[in-house]
A = this chain, B = another copy of it.
Amino acid sequence: MPPDPGYSDPLPAAADLRKLGLIAGGGELPARVIAACREAGRPLFVLALEGFTNPDCLAEVDHAWIRLGAAGEGFRHLHAHNVQDIVMVGPVRRPSLADLRPDWRATRLFAKVGLKALGDDGLLRAVIAEVEQEGFRVIGVDQILGGHVARRGTLGSVQPDDQALADLAHGAAVARALGQLDVGQGVVVQQGIVLAAEAVEGTDAMLSRCAGLRREGPGGVLVKMCKPQQDRRADLPTVGPVTVMRAAEAGLRGIGVQAGAAVLVDVAEIRRQADALGLFVIGLTEEGTP
């Protein structure tokens, strides 16, 4: 078993000072990116998505709100603010076309991708290509929050036992297969049985139904893996202190994430929670091994 990888939440060594455009979805990650830019003195403009971005994180930040379907307006904002790099973080639940009210630019994008069997993943790839065509450089959140990308090994003092290691490996295989189908990134496995598979409900909702599904005996594990075919500059699986709490409430014994392809939001607090609640948090290979 590799030792604790000794995260230290550092900023990337040479903080890039090119102006960053943050396209902000939901969850805790946008606030983390904003804080990291502030600490590094990196110029920042935030494109906040109505219904997704948490407004609290935008205080004293240069930003504009747009509807998800207003692609043309979004590009105008990004150009007007002389943004150079773009990072997209935080979950965005794809609405129906009716809700989306796509403008001309968004409609053209959808027409390119084709709509009938469009998963989140296909859409994200198309959006990235479109953003790059506009002359922006799309970067991954790991380039901003380098110290938060999961590494191999356990974080904190709790180690998985043999049954948990078997469940982690099985969970990793199933999570990657679900990802390949563009279903989701997360899965809960207990004693070889898949208790729950994540689709659009999200990890927290999946965990909340597991308390009622678990069997007696050694508890299960949550595994979140990167979709094999996804562009790693968008939608990396994310685990935060809240995930650890929900996992404990669901009777799980630990959490496995893909090293190098998952973001740990607030490593120090995750470690503290995991130790306090007696859970392990482990970075795994693509194959689900320690």
Q: Does A112 contact B (CB under 8 A)?
A: no
- Cross-chain contact A192 with B96 (CB below 8 angstroms): no
Residue of B nearest to A94 (CB): B193
Q: Which of A115, A198, A199, A201 has the most CB of B within 10 A?
A: A199
Complex alpha-carbon distance, A182 and B170, angstroms: 11
Which residues of B have CB within 8 Å of A198? 197
Q: Does A194 contact B (CB under 8 A)?
A: yes
- Cross-chain contact B166 with A174 (CB below 8 angstroms): no
Which residues of B have CB within 8 Å of A177? 177, 181
Complex alpha-carbon distance, A146 and B116, angstroms: 36
Residue of B nearest to A116 (CB): B166
Instruction: Name A181's contact: one of B194, B196, B213 (CB within 8 Å).
Output: B194
Which residues of B have CB within 8 Å of A192? 115-119
Q: Which of A99, A193, A217 has the most CB of B within 10 A?
A: A193
- Cross-chain contact B216 with A119 (CB below 8 angstroms): no
A:195-237 near B, CB below 8 Å: 195-201, 205, 209, 213, 215-217
Instruction: Name A199's contact: one of B191, B195, B217 (CB within 8 Å).
Output: B195
Q: Does A130 contact B (CB under 8 A)?
A: no
- Cross-chain contact B96 with A217 (CB below 8 angstroms): yes
Complex alpha-carbon distance, A279 and B182, angstroms: 27
- With A166-B117, A193-B94, A194-B199 as given contacts, are A216 and B181 in contact (CB-CB < 8 Å)? no
Q: Kindly provide the distance from the CB of A57 to the nearest chain B CB, expressed in whole angstroms.
A: 25
Instruction: Name A213's contact: one of B117, B183, B201 (CB within 8 Å).
Output: B201
Complex alpha-carbon distance, A94 and B214, angstroms: 10
Complex alpha-carbon distance, A157 and B200, angstroms: 31
Q: Does A97 contact B (CB under 8 A)?
A: yes
A–B Cβ pairs within 8 angstroms, 19 of them:
A94-B193, A95-B216, A97-B191, A97-B217, A99-B217, A118-B191, A174-B181, A174-B183, A177-B177, A178-B197, A183-B197, A184-B194, A184-B197, A188-B199, A196-B199, A196-B201, A197-B197, A201-B209, A205-B209
| Inter-chain pairs besides A117-B170, A117-B192, A194-B200, 10 sampled, C-beta below 8 Å | A94-B215, A96-B215, A97-B217, A99-B215, A118-B193, A119-B194, A174-B181, A201-B213, A205-B209, A209-B209
